[in-house]
């Protein structure tokens, strides 16, 4: 801590927010972390902002720092308690041993918002097409993208890193899939057909992402792309989006991968 009471209080509120973000993932303590720790920390922070502006405040800053430290200790203890619990230790051991069906069986008990998902439908993972550069080089060449897709198809879809805000953590990880292609972050998608995933799938409520608890998901898949795009970067590229995807389809075909338009 800095030794300056208001700075210490601000740092503690930030730390409690970070602890809350970890704790809210777990079903057993999600409500406690929000209602007991985060809500009180935010209330104290609001009160101290009033004090800084010379407005009436219900608590002085030194008393607030003491309470905030206690809130942080309580939140961290709650998270540690989950990690020490029998269900979490069993799931972590199963993850380490590759017993993924056991991990899946425990996941809804451990993670808040996770429910079994049995609806058969295509699932998707977005494939980034941007290069990080501006102008006409904003998108990677179709041949390069086809190589990336081929590597993903052969090696499988890796668990999200960093992981999702809910539904998994740093120890027990998950592959994150989408069921709405129009909501994906890229017009180019890898599509997994209904029934192609040989592990249990789960839906994260209310967000709707689909989770599979595995370090890497290998399943038969094809490539789909949107019929049209609205990204303004395509306007500064010499080739049109239709030309780009046509070339991508040819490159994928030479690698034995089926690719076609979703429209």
Please tell me the predicted confidence (pLDDT) of residue 2.
47
- pTM here is 0.88
Residue 111 — φ and ψ, nearest 5°? -105, 130
- Which two three-digit tokens encode residue 76? 């961290």
123 burial via Cβ count (<10 Å: 0-12, 13-18, 19+): buried
Partnered with residue 260 across adjacent β-strands are 224
126-168 pLDDT, tens digit each: 998 886 655 456 788 999 999 999 999 999 999 998 889 999 9
Q: Which of 161, 202, 187 is nearest to 27 (CA)?
A: 202
Across the chain, mean pLDDT equals: 90
Please tell me the predicted confidence (pLDDT) of residue 167.
96
94 preceded by cis ω (within 30°)? no
pLDDT at 52 > cutoff 80: no
pLDDT at 258 > cutoff 70: yes
Looking only at the bridges linking them, the beta strands covering 221-225 and 188-192 are antiparallel
User: What confidence category does residue 50 fall into, taking pLDDT thresholds of 50, 70 and 90?
Assistant: confident
Could you give the percent of the chain with pLDDT greater than 90? 71
User: What confidence category does residue 206 fall into, taking pLDDT thresholds of 50, 70 and 90?
Assistant: confident
215-225 pLDDT, tens digit each: 999 999 999 99
pLDDT at 202 > cutoff 70: yes
**CA 32 distance to own-chain centroid:** 22
Please tell me the predicted confidence (pLDDT) of residue 58.
58
User: What confidence category does residue 262 fall into, taking pLDDT thresholds of 50, 70 and 90?
Assistant: confident
User: What confidence category does residue 236 fall into, taking pLDDT thresholds of 50, 70 and 90?
Assistant: low
User: What confidence category does residue 31 fall into, taking pLDDT thresholds of 50, 70 and 90?
Assistant: very high
Label residues 139-158 b or e (16+ Cβ within 10 Å = b): bbebeebbeebbebbeebbe
Among 1-10, 65-74, 92-101, 120-129, the range scoring the smallest mean pLDDT is 1-10
């Amino acid at each position: 801590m800095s030794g300056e009471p208001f700075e210490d209080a601000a740092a503690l509120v930030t730390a409690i927010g970070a602890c809350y973000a970890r704790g809210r993932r777990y079903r057993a303590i999600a409500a406690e972390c929000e209602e007991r720790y985060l809500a009180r920390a935010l209330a104290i922070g609001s009160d101290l902002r009033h004090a800084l502006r010379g407005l009436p405040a219900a608590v002085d800053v030194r008393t607030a720092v003491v309470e905030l430290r206690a809130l942080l200790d309580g939140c961290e203890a709650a998270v540690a308690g989950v990690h020490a619990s029998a269900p979490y230790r069993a799931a972590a051991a199963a993850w380490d041993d590759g017993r993924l069906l056991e991990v899946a069986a425990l996941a809804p008990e451990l993670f808040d918002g996770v429910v079994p998902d049995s609806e058969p439908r295509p699932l998707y993972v977005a494939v980034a097409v941007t290069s990080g550069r501006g102008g006409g080089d904003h998108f990677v060449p179709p041949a390069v993208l086809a190589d990336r897709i081929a590597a993903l198809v052969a090696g499988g879809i890796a668990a999200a890193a960093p992981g999702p805000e809910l539904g998994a953590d740093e120890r027990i990880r998950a592959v994150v899939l989408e069921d709405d292609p129009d909501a994906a972050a890229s017009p180019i998608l890898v599509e997994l057909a209904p029934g192609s995933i040989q592990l249990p799938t789960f839906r994260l409520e209310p967000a709707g992402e689909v989770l599979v608890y595995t370090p890497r998901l290998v399943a038969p898949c094809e490539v789909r792309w949107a019929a049209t795009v609205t990204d303004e970067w395509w306007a500064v590229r010499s080739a049109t989006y239709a030309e780009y995807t046509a070339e991508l389809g040819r490159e994928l075909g030479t690698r034995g991968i089926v690719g076609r338009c979703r429209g």
